[in-house]
Each structure stands twice: as C-alpha cells, then as structure tokens.
A and B are shown apart, each in its own frame.
Chain A
Amino acid sequence: MTTTVTSHRTRPPAQPDSLRAKRLPWYAAPAIAVAALALSAVVVYGTGIGGPVLVVVLGAILYLVGLFAAANVVEGRRSARNRTWSALIHSTFVLAVLPLVSVVWTLVSKGADRLDVNFFQTSMNNIGARDANGGAYHAIVGTLEQVGIATLITVPLGVLCAIYIVEYGRGKFAFTIRFFVDVMTGIPSIVSGLFVLAFWVLIVSPWFNDGRPSFSGFAAALALSVLMLPTIVRSTEEMLRLVPAPLREGAYALGVPKWKTILRVVLPTALPGIVTGVMLAIARAAGETAPVLLVAGGGAAINTNPFENSQSSLSLFVYQQAGDASKYAPARAWTAALTLVALVLILTIAAKLLARRNRLSR
C-alpha cells in the first residue's frame, strides 16, 4: 500500500476532463462469478483432481482475477483495486463466519437427538452403559451454582480492583497490581485447579469435614474465580479508562465527592462495557472442564449443595459422556454441549438487556 501512495505523490494524477466515469453494468459482477465457478468446475472435474470445495476455492480466486481484469479495462486501475479489495474483505468475512455457522449447525443437529424433557429432569445416577435415558440435571445445577458463586466473588472484587487501578492507583503499587493481573490472565486453568486442590480441598476443607478432604462445588467456584478475575479486571479497567475525563470533572465541579462521582457517574457510563466483560468471563468459566474435574469430582447424582460432596458441571459432563463406553453417551454429550452454549447465550442476552434498561432510550 505504501508504494502506491508514494507513487501517487511523486506523479500526481492528471485532472480528469469529466467527473463521470465508465462503470461496469450491474450484472457484471454476478456474471463474472458464474463464469468463474463454471470455469473452475470444468477445470477441477475435467482433470479429476478434487471435489466441490476446490471448485469453490478456485472459483473465488478466478472471480477475483476476472473482476480485477474487467474493472481494470472498463473502469480504470483505482476502481479495479477498490472492487478487488471489497470482494476480498467480504470473502474473509464469510470465511470467518463459516466455522461459527458450522459449530452451531453441528451442535443443533447432533444435540437434537436427546433434547427431551427427560434430559433436563434426570441425572446420571444409576445409569448404566445399556441405558438409553439419563440426563444432565445435576450438571446444569452444578454449572449454575459454580459459575454463580464464582461471579458473586469476582464481580465485586474485579470491579473494585479496576476502580482502584484507574481512579486511585498511583505509582509503583498500582503498576505492580496491573502486572500481576496480567500474569494471572495467562494462568492455565489446570494450574488454577491444582492451586485450589492443594489449598482448599486438601488443607481447608478437612476443617469442615471431620478431618477428611472433600470435593465441593464451592472449590470449583474458587478455581473458576481465579480464571475470571483477571478478565473482569482488565475489561473493566479498559471501560473505565474510556469514560471521558470531562464527565468526572463536571461532577467534581458540582462539589460531588470522588467516590460518589465514580459510583453515580463513571460506573453507569461504563456499565454496558463492564457487563460485556463480565459475560466474557462467565462464558469462559462455564466452559472450563479441568478445574471442575480436579476439585469438584464430577459425581453422577444430583447435589444441590455446593459446599458438600462432589458436583458435576455441563462441560465436565460433556467430557465424561464423550469418552464413555456406551452407544448412548455421545448423544448425551452433544445435547449437554448445546445446553451449555444456549445457557451462556441466554445469560449474555439477559445481561445485555438489563444493562440497556438502565440507559435512556434514544
């Protein structure tokens, strides 16, 4: 790109006589596309070197070349470049969306098999390899409780930490906190699981449990908190920094104390962004398998008490079912995966709506 700019600088384009320019007819682009696909199909099937995927890929390349050539002849070089780049950008977009569509489609089509009422009402307790039923009720309860507790722990902690860094922190101490939050972002989930296993399950939990270590949903929530905290701190920090300084000054100039300015002016302004950050953290935590497996055990029975005994979660359920030696297990795994995605989606939409309700309708 830079070379084209400099070449324009050194040799300014001649002033056009007319502001009008020749344009390709509207049907040119679709016609070139059809021709490119046809040509590519002839080449691919004629030589017998590939299938439909190659036809599309080759067709796309031929389309770009053909479009550039046609536009170059009729409309000139600048316009040809414009058309080619637009077409490239659009195809990149399609390329980026394809995996997403594919994932959603696979989940829905394979998950639909066991998407019945029974799945949401039963657990895997006493379900053997030959039993077709069984469900994820216990896993859904586990996910909701563990992620819920983790959110209750991390949102106040993370938002307050971000407020400290942005509004109060000066000098070395704030810098150190930021540095360690960055380091925390990179902690692998298995390490956070091991940390909670060593600290909470093996050392702290025996105090409450007659001296024996115990798995619990709460331990899983702690491990998820370690993973969620840096995400929430960093995203909240970015959002708080985006709040314009004149808004804070406007509030100070009214004699509003700093803490109240933060609470009533800065936070509401940044709220939609903070909610997005929290939802990203929740989505990440809900998908974590390893820490839950390490510290919550992943029992097959329904256990609504997060503070005692083993609990499962949806992602752990998917992991267990996908590897289970039963012909009915894969269907349960797919449905659980679909449920997990739907759950996160519903939570995200609900949070966005709640955050928007506080803002004024434009």
Chain B
Amino acid sequence: MAKRVSASNVTAYYGGFKAIENINLTVEPKTVTALIGPSGCGKSTFLRSINRMHEVLPGARVEGSLTIDDQDIYDRDVDVTAVRRTIGMVFQRPNPFPTMSIFENVVAGLKLNGVRKKSILEDAAEKALRAANLWGEVKDRLGKPGAGLSGGQQQRLCIARTIAVEPQVVLMDEPCSALDPISTLAIEDLMFQLKDKFTIIIVTHNMQQAARVSDRTAFFSIEKTGDPGRLIEYDNTQKIFSNPSVKKTEDYITGRFG
C-alpha cells in the first residue's frame, strides 16, 4: 500500500525563477515526514512537485528525478492522472466542491474516475469518512452541501475525499493553518491513524506540530530572497529538535533565525 518516495537533484522553476535547487531526500513508507522552514523556502513547491501539481501553473517546470518505489513519475510515458491518484494531496485551505453534497464530495475522486455503482460508492464514502473521523458528525446529513460544514469539518472532508481514492502517499500542505486548536488536534490524531496505511508528507509552519506528528523532519531554507530554496538538514524528528547537526537548523527551531 504505502510507497517510498525519493527525490534526487530535484530543481523546480516558476518561469525563469528557480524556487528549489538540488533537493535529495527519501521518505520511507508508513512514516510521517514534516517539511519545515521559513516562508518562501520552497517547501510547498517541493511538495507540489511530488504529485506533479507544480506544473499546473503556467511556466512551472521540474528537473531531476522523483521516484515512487523506483518508478520515475516524471518519465515521458507516465500518466499524470495516475500519479495524482497514487499521491493524494490536502491543501492549506479546505476546498470542498461547492456544487456537491458531503457524500458527493467524498466520492468525487471515484465518481469522476468512472466508478458508477452505488453500493461501492456508499461503502467507500463511509470508510473514508470513518477514517477521517467525520462519520459520526455527518452521517445524518450526507445530502447536505459540503460547504455548509465548519472549517475543521471541511478540512477533514477534504482528507476523506483524498483517502477515498486509496492513494499510497498523502501530501498535506499546511493542513491546519486555517483551523482552531481543537480541529488541529483532530487532524493530528488522524495522521497517527493514517500512518498505518499511507506515507504522509506534511508541510507545516508550526514546529510543535512537526515535533508531535512526524517521524522524520526536513529543514528547508534560503540564503536570501530570490535565491532558490535548499534542503539544509533531514533527519529523525527527535534528532532535529534536540540535537541538530547544522547551526542554521538550530537557529531556526530555537527562534533565532534571521
């Protein structure tokens, strides 16, 4: 189920601007990996290049190689939609589809990829909503619009939508930054449970969150504005937060950065 993600010499551009340079990193299956670093250091760019969402923006491109269990996802004959089905993504702001009900939102990935049978969809919806800890709250109003839920519920709905297509890797781009502490806790708990089945990579600005949820942590940084982001240190979370080997990492996590 869960797969290994490894990046070698990944460099990403927005038009002429080089956003990240020579990122080398391997994420083991069934772990949570946190990407931390100051704003603009390329964490989100790197995350988005893992499921080829980076290239959605006009002029954006990626160099280097990114493999999922030894399959290069940037090979010429790779189907982009298959990559994104294998590697799901949860965004910073909850983005449920406004014209769809809660049920339709959860099964959107299946339905839009051709699954028609109602019993399959219903089973998948219940399974995904239970996995996202949302089933109890919405089981009586599955026909209501997804946009009518609270922010935290919407984000869990988006997580349910992502895991309903049964990806192998789940990418999360600051999934809790728009949420209150209780909803954040609910989603962090969720990550612990999801770890059994998925490989999770999460971008976060909250270092306590990185320390709480992740097994390994990657610290990204930039020299100065306009320079490409680089991977400074990548190690076990425990090590990064207690005894980092690079001075810059220590400065950042202790708040002495910049």
Contacts and interface: CB of A to CB of B under 8 A. Distances in A.
A360 B89 contact: no
Nearest to B90: A253
Contacts of A255: 81-86, 109, 113, 165
A120 B78 CA distance: 64
A208 B144 CA distance: 55
B91 A254 contact: no
B84 A253 contact: yes
B53 interface: yes
Contacts of B200: none
A257 B81 contact: yes
Given A247-B95, A247-B98, A251-B108, A256 B81 contact: yes
Interface string A227-254: 0000000000000000010111111111
Main secondary structure of the interface of A (DSSP, over half): helix
B209 to A, nearest CB: 22
A252 B91 CA distance: 12
Interface residues of B, number: 33
A265 interface: yes
Contacts of B86: 255
A185 interface: no
B101 interface: yes
B112 A260 contact: yes
A254 B108 contact: yes
Interface in A250-297: 250-257, 260-261, 264-265, 268-269, 271
Given A254-B108, A255-B81, A246 B91 contact: yes
Nearest to B59: A170
Nearest to B104: A360
Size class of the contact patch on chain A: 20 to 34
Interface string A308-342: 00000000000000000000000000000000000
B144 A360 contact: yes
Contact of B112 (A251, A269, A358): A251
Interface hub of A250, A253, A359 (most chain B Cβ within 10 A):
A253
- Most chain B Cβ neighbours within 10 Å, of A261, A264, A271, A362: A264
Contacts of A271: 99
Contact of A256 (B89, B112, B144): B112
A252 B53 contact: yes
B56 interface: yes
A151 to B, nearest CB: 23
Interface in B94-110: 95-101, 108-109
A271 B144 CA distance: 19
A256 B113 contact: yes
B81 A250 contact: no
A362 B112 contact: no
Interface of A: 170, 244, 246-257, 260-261, 264-265, 268-269, 271, 358-360, 362
Given A255-B109, A256-B108, 6 more contacts: A246-B93, A253-B53, A253-B88, A255-B82, A261-B112, A264-B112
Those 9 A-B pairs whose CB atoms lie nearest each other, nearest first = A255-B85, A254-B109, A253-B89, A360-B145, A268-B99, A255-B84, A246-B95, A250-B95, A256-B112
7 contacts: A251-B97, A252-B53, A254-B85, A254-B165, A255-B82, A265-B97, A360-B145
